[in-house]
C-alpha cells in the first residue's frame, strides 16, 4: 500500500497517547512527526525562566514583548524529534509537572496561539506530516486528509502520565497527576481561541483497552479504507 504525501492531524485530551501513536505512525509510514504541545510547553518554560509567571500568574504584556526573541525549533535525532530553544535542547525541562501546571493557561492566550501556529505551518511546509495537539484538525490544518481524535478513560490516562513521569525520575503523586489532567482538559476545551473539540470528519480512536500494536492495526484499517489496500496488485484475500 502506498500512502500519499498527506497531512495527518491527531487531536485529543491530555495523556491519551497521541504522541506515542503519532510517533509510531511516523516511523512505520515515513512521516515527519511534529508535537505541537511541545511548542506550547516551550513557550511556558520561556515564561517561567524569564520571570514572567510569578506565583503562577502570567505576565502577558511581558510575554508578548519578549516572545519574538524566542527561537523554538525541532531537531531530528535518529527517529526522535527534539525541541530546542536556540542551541539548548529543552525536551526534559518542558515535560515537568511544573510546566504542565502552567501550559494550559499559556496556550489559551491568543497571541501565543498565533505565534505557535505560524511556526507549525512553517515546519510542515514539506508535507507528509503527522502532527498531534488539541486543534490540529479544527484550526491548524482544517484540510488535513486524515483526522484522528484520541480518547481514553481518565484513570488509564492518569496512570500512563504517572508512569511516564516516574520513568523520567520524577516522584509525583497519582492524585496530583490526575488533578493536572482534569484541569488541563477543562481549560483546553473551554478556552475561547481554538478550544479542543472533535473535528466533524475525525475518526475516533479510544485506546483504553488497546495495545500499541492494535492501534497500528487500527491505523492500517483506516489507510486501507482511504487509500485502497484492497486494490493493491499482488495481494489476495
Short-list 130, 173, 161, CA closest to 30 = 130
- Sign for the CA dihedral angle at 199, 123, 145, 33 comes to negative
By beta-carbon proximity to ligand DC, the closer residue of 134 and 160 is 134
Residue from 25, 29, 34, 36 binding ligand DC (CB under 6 A): 36
State the residue for C-alpha cell 508535537: 35
Please tell me whether residue 37 binds ligand DC under the rule CB under 6 A. Answer: yes
Please tell me whether residue 41 binds ligand DC under the rule CB under 6 A. Answer: yes
161-164: Cβ within 8 A, 24+ apart: 161/14, 161/15, 164/95
Cell of 215: 492501534
Q: Which of residues 124-163 bind ligand DC (CB under 6 A)?
A: 133-136
Residue from 16, 107, 180, 207 binding ligand DC (CB under 6 A): 107
Please tell me whether residue 81 binds ligand DC under the rule CB under 6 A. Answer: no
Which range binds ligand DC by CB under 6 A, 1-9, 99-107, 145-153, 213-221? 99-107
Residue from 3, 7, 9, 14 binding ligand DC (CB under 6 A): 14
Short-list 109, 110, 104, 107, CA closest to 181 = 104
Min dist. Cβ of residue 173 to ligand DC (A): 19
Q: Compute CA distances 32 → 8, 77, 131, 179, whole Å.
A: 10, 12, 8, 32
Please tell me whether residue 33 binds ligand DC under the rule CB under 6 A. Answer: no
Residue 234, C-beta contacts closer than 8 angstroms, at least 6 positions apart: none
Q: Which of residues 198-217 bind ligand DC (CB under 6 A)?
A: none
Interface positions with ligand DC (CB under 6 A): 14, 36-37, 40-41, 103-104, 107, 133-136, 184, 188
Amino acid at each position: 500500500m502506498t500512502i500519499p504525501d498527506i497531512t495527518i492531524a491527531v487531536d485529543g485530551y491530555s495523556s491519551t497517547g497521541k504522541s506515542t501513536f503519532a510517533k509510531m505512525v511516523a516511523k512505520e509510514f515515513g512521516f515527519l512527526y511534529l508535537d505541537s504541545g511541545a511548542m506550547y510547553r516551550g513557550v511556558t518554560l520561556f515564561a517561567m525562566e524569564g520571570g514572567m509567571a510569578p506565583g503562577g500568574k502570567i505576565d502577558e504584556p511581558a510575554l508578548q514583548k519578549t516572545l519574538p526573541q524566542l527561537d523554538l525549533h525541532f531537531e531530528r535525532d535518529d527517529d526522535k524529534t527534539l525541541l530546542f530553544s536556540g542551541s539548548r535542547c529543552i525536551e526534559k525541562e518542558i515535560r515537568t509537572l511544573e510546566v504542565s501546571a502552567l501550559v494550559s493557561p499559556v496556550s489559551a492566550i491568543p497571541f501565543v496561539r498565533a505565534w505557535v501556529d505560524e511556526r507549525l505551518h512553517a515546519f510542515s511546509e514539506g508535507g507528509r506530516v503527522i502532527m498531534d495537539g488539541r486543534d490540529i484538525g479544527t484550526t491548524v490544518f482544517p484540510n488535513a486528509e486524515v483526522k484522528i481524535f484520541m480518547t481514553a478513560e481518565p484513570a488509564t490516562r492518569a496512570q500512563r502520565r504517572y508512569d511516564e513521569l516516574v520513568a523520567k525520575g520524577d516522584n509525583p503523586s497519582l492524585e496530583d497527576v490526575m488533578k493536572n489532567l482534569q484541569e488541563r482538559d477543562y481549560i483546553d476545551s473551554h478556552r475561547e481561541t481554538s478550544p479542543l473539540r472533535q473535528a466533524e470528519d475525525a475518526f475516533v480512536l479510544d485506546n483504553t483497552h488497546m495495545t500499541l500494536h492494535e492501534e497500528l492495526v487500527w491505523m492500517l484499517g483506516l489507510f486501507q479504507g482511504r487509500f485502497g489496500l484492497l486494490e493493491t496488485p499482488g495481494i489476495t484475500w
